[in-house]
Amino acid sequence: MTELEKMLAGASYRPGDPDLVALRKRAQRLMRDYNATVYGEDEHRAALLADLLGRETRATIRPPFYVDYGVHIDLGDEVFLNYGCVILDVCRVTIGPRTQIGPGTQILTADHPRDAAARAEGVEMGKPVFIGSDVWIGGGALILPGVTVGDGAVIGAGSVVTRDVPDGITVAGNPARPLR
């Protein structure tokens, strides 16, 4: 297995692999160009975003926008990401149609070994994140590796989501818990 294949499978991988470094450098260049766009450069912005994500999208993403690779992110139609969102896509991130994500939100698939000796070896791993349709995620929320957020759920601003959120449930806090 290549390091990319290991990474996408959620297995331990070496992030310093030359192919992974090249993919991150590509994403960094495209992010820099995308984040430098201004209102009114819609066609140019859309082309840069399509290059970054590896496909055209009907999502709206307000710069700045930050990713590890970009090409492991699947956005449904009419997804909205406000300013300053971070998606660390070492594994697949899927966001369903009409989901709205507030400013400064972080969606993380990247993870590290809990054992210090394993961390010292320089390996990493990840877990995919799935966010359903018609979800609202308030500003500054943090979605951790391996989390699934169900359709129609609401994540309160500043929440740290450590566990799956069922369809239609509202959660808030650190760690995020259902509101009654």
Just list the catalytic residues.
Answer: 112
Nearest to 106 by CA among 81, 128, 69, 80: 81
d(C-alpha 33, C-alpha 11), whole Å: 32
Report how far Cα 162 is from the mean position of its chain's Cα atoms. 15
Cα–Cα distance, 149 to 135 (Å, whole number):
8
Rounded to an integer, what distance in angstroms lies between the CA atom of residue 44 and that of residue 100?
A: 23
Q: Of 107, 31, 109, which Cα lies nearest the Cα of 64?
A: 31
Q: How far apart are the first and last CA of the chain?
A: 46
As a whole number of Å, the CA-based R_g of the chain is: 16
